[in-house]
């Protein structure tokens, strides 16, 4: 759900040790991404990534549980946002998810705005997306992460509405909500053509996501305000 070249973490109150860990984590994922894009995911060994960053292979696995996680990371942030957003009864589940997606889109486009070569940066994002789509191990990892997020969403929706987590209505609602991430990814691939400004990309992607959200909003209305 995130791009390694974008540092989405905040560092407002972090100490020196936390900052060093964050920077090493970012260096590992940036290095891995560059090597994977150049040679292909399967052709690069974790030991090579470790050597390029002057750390041990064990250190890499201390930060990332698997090779796939080196470039498909940060599920905890999305899980936390889903739990908090869907648990609140002051807005509908769709509104909560739209807010999360808007934040992720703003983070990516804010990074893009800082790049001197926006066309080149857009091309790198496209290449990253194609790497994931064309690599079976990465597709499987992404699918597993999505299933974990769907389970979390179903659990929170169930608690919100007084249903069981395996209630089919909670499960289909969770699947529909997580599907909006796929809509945003597809819209990004279509809009990041190297010619549009970040603001134009934001408007185009947001319009697509909101259009899709309207289709499921009516069906999910029963979850609003804890209705049963």
* pLDDT of res. 89: 77
Does one domain contain both 53 and 115?
Answer: no
pLDDT band for position 62 (cuts 50, 70, 90) = very high
Name 104's Cβ contacts closer than 8 Å, sequence gap at least 6.
Answer: 1, 2, 8, 184
* SS3 state at 174: helix
Residue range 193-225, pLDDT digits in tens = 988 999 999 999 999 999 999 988 887 765 554
Does one domain contain both 166 and 94?
Answer: yes
Does one domain contain both 131 and 34?
Answer: no
Does one domain contain both 64 and 81?
Answer: no
Please report, to the nearest 10 degrees, the dihedral formed by the alpha carbons of residues 224, 202, 73, 53 taken in order. -160
41 DSSP 8-state letter: T
Does one domain contain both 176 and 202?
Answer: yes
Does one domain contain both 24 and 130?
Answer: no
Does one domain contain both 124 and 42?
Answer: no
Does one domain contain both 136 and 210?
Answer: yes
Does one domain contain both 132 and 147?
Answer: yes
Does one domain contain both 116 and 213?
Answer: yes
Which residue's structure tokens are 């974790």? 46
| Mean pLDDT score, 11-17 | 68
Q: What is the count of structural domains for the chain?
A: 2
* pLDDT of res. 75: 65
Which residue's structure tokens are 């560092």? 11
Structural domain for 168, as ranges: 75-222
Cα–Cα distance for residue pair 176/24, rounded to 1 Å: 36
Does one domain contain both 147 and 201?
Answer: yes
* pLDDT of res. 78: 83
Does one domain contain both 126 and 63?
Answer: no
Residue range 70-94, pLDDT digits in tens = 988 766 778 888 999 999 878 889 9
Choose one of 41, 68, 95: the last residue of a domain: 68
Which residue's structure tokens are 């994977």? 36
State the CATH number of the domain containing residue 147.
1.10.357
Number of residues that this document lists for the chain: 228
Is the separation of the CB atoms in 192 and 100 below 8 Å?
Answer: no
State the CATH number of the domain containing residue 37.
1.10.10.60
Decide if 203 is inside a domain: yes
């Amino acid at each position: 759900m995130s791009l390694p070249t974008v540092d989405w973490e905040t560092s407002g109150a972090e100490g020196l040790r936390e900052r060093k860990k964050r920077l090493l984590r970012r260096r590992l994922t940036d290095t891995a991404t560059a090597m994977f894009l150049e040679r292909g995911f399967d052709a690069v060994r974790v030991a090579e990534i470790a050597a390029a960053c002057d750390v041990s292979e064990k250190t890499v696995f201390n930060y990332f549980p698997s090779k796939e996680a080196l470039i498909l990371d940060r599920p905890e942030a999305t899980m936390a946002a889903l739990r908090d957003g869907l648990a609140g009864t002051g807005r509908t589940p769709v509104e909560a998810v739209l807010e999360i997606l808007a934040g992720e889109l703003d983070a990516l486009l804010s990074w893009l705005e800082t790049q001197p070569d926006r066309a080149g940066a857009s091309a790198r994002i496209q290449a990253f997306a194609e790497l994931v789509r064309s690599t079976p191990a990465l597709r499987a990892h992404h699918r597993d992460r999505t299933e974990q997020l769907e389970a979390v969403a179903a659990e929170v929706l169930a608690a919100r509405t007084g249903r069981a987590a395996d209630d089919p209505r909670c499960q289909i609602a969770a699947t529909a909500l997580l599907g909006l991430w796929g809509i945003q990814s597809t819209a990004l691939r279509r809009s990041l053509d190297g010619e549009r400004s970040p603001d134009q990309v934001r408007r185009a992607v947001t319009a697509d996501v909101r259009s899709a959200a309207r289709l499921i909003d009516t069906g999910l209305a029963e979850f609003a305000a804890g209705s049963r």
